[in-house]
Amino acid sequence: EIKNSHGREGPATAAQLAELGGLHASLKLNGLAEWYLSRAIELDETNSQAHLSRLIVLITGNTTGAPVGAKVQWRARIQRSLDWLNANAPELPETQWIALWLDLYDCFEEREDQRGIRIGEEAIRRFPENSLLHFYTAFALIRYGQTTGLPRERLRQGQYHFQLAAELDPTNNIAATNAQALAQML
């Protein structure tokens, strides 16, 4: 409806573009969602919700198997968006948990399990209902898949956090699969 009205009623407004971005995000069409949200931000740079929505679209994008250069650009776009939110909407809970998630993501990329566990414990203490934080904490607990020699308790904790991540976000098939695999190992 909004997209079709574009030609009839003049250019789309920032609010309309942001709404289109949100609709595309809900359909997991992240590329289109990011495009619409970016256009909305170009029209109204003060739109915190558009910045936040674009940031969430970015962090839920899959970079598995992407070339290093693409991951670096993706990480830089996330950091720029987070910097804007830190400067303009630091009170939003999303601004706070996304900063923690980004630290967890960096631990994941660097395979820093001890630091990842510390950050993850703090993140989950502050945001216990956040699937992504449980998901990345679980990876730190199981040493990013290098489970040989890990204490059984760490495997159990990793399984628990993968299970919670899957329950909090039923579309997270990786969390569910990892929870099942760890349960079988235990």
The confidence score (pLDDT) of residue 152 equals 93
pLDDT value, residue 103 = 93
Q: Tokens in use for 63?
A: 């970079």
Q: Determine the 3-state secondary structure of 44 from DSSP.
A: coil
CA distance 84 to 44: 13
Distance of CA 53 to the CA centre of its chain: 11
pLDDT < 50: residue spans in the chain: 1-2, 5
Give the residue extent of every domain in the chain.
92-186
| pLDDT value at residue 18 | 85
Supply the pTM of this predicted model. 0.79
| Helix axes of 14-26 and 48-59: crossing angle, nearest 10 degrees | 30
d(CA 155, CA 125): 20
DSSP code at position 12: P
Both tokens of residue 164?
Answer: 């919670």
136-166 per-residue burial string, b: 16 or more CB within 10 A, e: under 16: bbbbbbbbbeeeeeeeeebbebbbbbbbbbb
The CATH number that domain 92-186 falls under is 1.25.40.10
Instruction: Burial-class residue 185 by CB neighbours within 10 Å (0-12, 13-18, 19+).
Output: middle
